Chains A and B, each alone.
Chain A
Amino acid sequence: QSALTQPASVSGSPGQSITISCSGTSSDLGGYDYVSWYQQHPGKAPKLMIYEVSNRPSGVSNRFSGSKSGNKASLTISGLQAEDEADYYCSSYTMRSTYVFGTGTTVTVL
């Protein structure tokens, strides 16, 4: 199972909006509405930010939103803040009943 494809890095200024893409295939991301997004700060465990494409767990800021179209999912961070600087990973269910993570994107707040 190959990792989902994400851009290596995305940057933006405070207050701006940025979007991170996540590309897969019809055997994983495109075939199911089971896409999650995680935020990971250096040396810390990942934190669930979005599940089932667009749902936010309790406590996650509404500045984070998710969407999906075809074989591509996206995470949008609006009103970018310094604390949003971290690595972000998408993840998807696959047709083999396994899971796969994306390659990861480093978000830099300029």
Chain B
Amino acid sequence: QKEVEQNSGPLSVPEGAIASLNCTYSDRGSQSFFWYRQYSGKSPELIMFIYSNGDKEDGRFTAQLNKASQYVSLLIRDSQPSDSATYLCAVRGNNRLAFGKGNQVVVIP
């Protein structure tokens, strides 16, 4: 079982809609969870982190964590064309980050 799994294929959403991304992880002892955004040909950049169960909102982004079910999700509200990118879920354990393979989001104007 992979440490961090992002199984959804490319996600196409119309501009202004909500994009929803999911991620599951295998290490029940994981404490810190991150979402990175990566534009094509660029390096990953952090957009959200969450440590506690529940929701955390930052502007148009909301991260949701459920440790009992071992999943973390990211919602992007009012999606904009500039949100078109690959979103990487990362989970920290033992001072190292394990990344999922990412979900590509395409926002259609």
Q: Do A and B bind each other?
A: no
Please report A residues at the B interface, Cβ cutoff 8 Å.
Answer: none
